[in-house]
Structure formats: structure tokens, C-alpha cells
Structure 1
């Protein structure tokens, strides 16, 4: 069913930089970088929203030109213990607030970063009581110790996301923690690279890799926990050689598989599409014979071997066809998946 517009709540001026939903309290929070406001909305019974509170933090701005116009909240989302955390790039601060069951927001604490740090986004490892804060303006990560009971952040370590000898413009963008809580990944805009950090036993970070993206980086558009990193190589380059070199540099615990179109997907070793299909089969008590899979490249091979009802696309690689039970009559460009599904259903 197509989506239906239910409501528009138009804020005068620039649009928010960040939005998130608090399902437990039926709230929505937005962070508006340009106006300096964090706005909380209550989700009504009919699904529409109503503004309930507006936060505007003031204070001494940072020293850089991007900070001079005042507060710039870039992020407002929930901590693992359901507090509201706000990253303010303009004031070099991270704010922590309590939110009542009714949605009332009250301040708890704040942590001041070094001048010009430029807090952008934050990611948590709940089991270790740590948070990892990316500084857009400084190209640094701050490791924060998070005392949930007291509601206090303490700066534990600060590390750079770019080489020490890089002097051109760069902005730290997205930050993600791997599903196994062992690695932190950061994208660098300007240096156009991904920085990989190993999380040590005490929560500190050790930078183990900086890899070029071979393309301009924009910030990520999701706050989901990191599962894979896609690296796309430019057309016309010796892609096979570059892929081989990249795979040789990967640390233990990570592997890379091709998904086609000059793109390799880096993820946890031994975790692939077959892992996800097995999880769904267990969850829904399904047998391999009840599952149909489709694939066309290296990252699909495990999944194609999992069920006899597997289909390699007509335009897939030879190895995919060798590992699948069937090959589709039509390719990806001619609705090969849809036509195959229709044929299966027609023959039930």
C-alpha cells in the first residue's frame, strides 16, 4: 500500500538535520542545526504529532568559523538507558537529559569538549559503558566513559581519524560500531576515507586502518547499527588488483565479498546472507525446502547453497550459477526475480 500524507508540521527556516522516534514514550525528537533548537513532539493516537517542548542551549561558542553563529545541535537521540543525548557542534558540548514517561525533558549533565572539537554524532557500546563521539570539525573521536547511574559522561581518550600529515580540509561524518562491539568505523569527508578502529579491553581505540573510498564521501543517512561497509571502486581502474590489496589489509575477524558493480562489502567474517536466512528459518520454523533465494554474485553464494529452491540470475556470475539449484529465465534488467516468483506461485 502506498504511503499517505497525514500531516505537515512546517518549521519556518531551515529543515532539521536529525530526526528520531521514541517508540516507548510515543515521542519524536528533531535537532535543527541552523536554528539551534531541539524540538520534542508527542505522537497522538491518530499518528499525527504535536510539539510538546523546545530546547535551545546557549553558551560560549567554539573558535572556528562554523561555530560562531551560536549553538548547532546536530544529533538528538536516545542512549541505551533511554535518556536523550544531544550533540552540539557549535558549543562543543554533549548534553544528557532525562525524559519522563509523559515526555517532559529535564537536564541531567553536560560534557565540554576541547575548543573546535565540533561534536556531530555519537555511538554506544552499552555492555562496556562507553560512547564514541565523532568530532566533525576536529577529525577526532572522543571515547567517553558513560556512568548510567550518575548520568555523567567523562572524556577517556581522544584519537584522530585522519593521518597526522594530512593538512587539507576534512570533516568527520558518520560513526558506527560493529554488531559484535569490537570495531568502530568513521567516514572522513575531504580525505575521502574510512577509518577503522579496534576497541580495546578498556574501551580505548586503536586505529588499525585508513582505507580510501576512491570517491567523494557524503554523510550516512541511517542510524542503524553497522553491519557492513560497502567500498565502490572507480570504473576503468584495475578493480581486481585493488580488491586483492584491500582484502590483504583487512584485520582478523573481517572479510570482504563482491556484490557486483565494482563494489565489495566488508563485514564480520563468517556472517553472510546465509546467516540471515538461517535466522529467519529458525524464527519462523521453516525448512530449507520452504525457502526460495535469489542471487547473482559472490556475496550470495552461501545463501544459494542453503536451499534447493535457489535461483541464480541469468546475468549472474558463473560461480553463482554453479552453486544454485536453478537459473532464472530472465535477467535483472527484465524482472527476472518477479517473473520467477509469479511462475512459482502459479504452479502451487
Structure 2
């Protein structure tokens, strides 16, 4: 059955460790996709403005799933937002502050559709790192007062990046007991957890695109490397875990790429699929 849609994660998957990609190879792959009528979708935990920055000049031709499925765009048009209630935002921030010493949390970010908000106490190094993934970042005097400062804004994700000695298992164990069932926490790599509505997943956002374009799950190919990609890797027999992915992720995918993210792993597989 021919592939009609290709969906890829970004960091650790499509992008190399320097957060860029082989532009000439991408132009070749995109030409093949467009020649065969294949949709290309970027699905990331980071923000839409960041994705547009990475694909400047191509944005009108692509679909974007950002913030792990909380925000979707068809080209430059916003098509779906799954917000978190303001009381839930307040609860998440309080829970993080209560559960971990400040020195063990390097980044606490509340994301809206376009703008991400951070506290003025964030270090310059962490702020610079945040801007890689969120592009439009606003520093506020007190993040605990954000919903009061922005009473009409739709917030979509809370990102928490922790440092040693906090482990992923420890962070999840502590926070899982404090989050209501309608919120979901997913690992996004880089010692970062993204918290949002339980229904705001990459897989659900992809399902909306499949319904829009009348494409079956076995007509898509998906690429990922981390926990937040597992749902979309389970959707299709044409799923690919990256060669650099953890063993658990590789076990959940139907295929493993020949090359890792630093050697055009996704682009090479796309070209093989479509040639």
C-alpha cells in the first residue's frame, strides 16, 4: 500500500544534535513527497514558531503538530488548540515548587500557542536553551502569578527540566501522584517532562489529519526516538524508531532506521520509501 503521509518527530529524530538538518537532502526528499502526493508533518514537543524557524520558506507546504499535540497548524493556519485550564496551570506550578528544590529544576516553562513564559529567576544559560525550543519567550516577574497576569491567554503545556540528582523515574513517581487524571505527563528527552491535557497527544493530532485527508493508519510512516513518540509509532506498520533511540522505543516500533539522527536517518528512509 502506498505511503500517503509521513510524520516525524524533531529533536533526536529529524534534527541532528546541533538542532539542524541536511537542507539539500531535505529538498530532495520533499520533492519526492510532493511528486507522489505525500503529506509531510512535523510533530514536536516544541513550539510552532520554533518549527517555522527551522522550515522557513517551506511552512505553507507542511503540517505542524507542536507541543506534543496541543497545537496544530496546516501551514500557517491554526487548526486546533487543546488548552489547560488556568487552575490546572496554577496547580502544576505549585506542585513542582513544593516537590523539588529550586536548584534541581533548571527550566520551568508555561507555553501558550505562540509564546512561552518563564520566571525572571531562570539562569541566562537556561533561558538561551529555552529559546532554542520555543523561539518566542517572555520573562515574567513571577511565574506563579502568570494566570493572573494573562487571564485571557490559552496555555497549552508546562515543561519541566530537572537536573541531577533527580532521575526520570523519581520525577515521574513524585509528580504522578499530584496530577489529576485528565493531565498527562510525557518524557520529551533532555531530562524534560511535558505536562498537558491527556487527549493532547501526537497520536490524536495525527488521527485528526488522517480524518481530514481520508488516509488510513497503514498509509502513513512515522519516525520517533522518545516516549512522547510511542503513540504515533504504534499507529502504523510503517513506524521507525531511530537508530539512536533507547531500546524500549525500538521495541515498540515496527522498524529501526539504518542511520541515526546525526546521519540523515529520517531523510534516508523517506527517500528509500518513495523511490
Larger helix fraction of residues: 2
**Structure of higher CA gyration radius:** 1
Larger strand fraction of residues: 1
Provide the TM-score with structure 2 as the length reference.
0.48
**Which of structures 1 and 2 has the larger relative contact order (alpha carbons within 8 angstroms, sep 6+)?**
2
Provide the TM-score with structure 1 as the length reference.
0.39
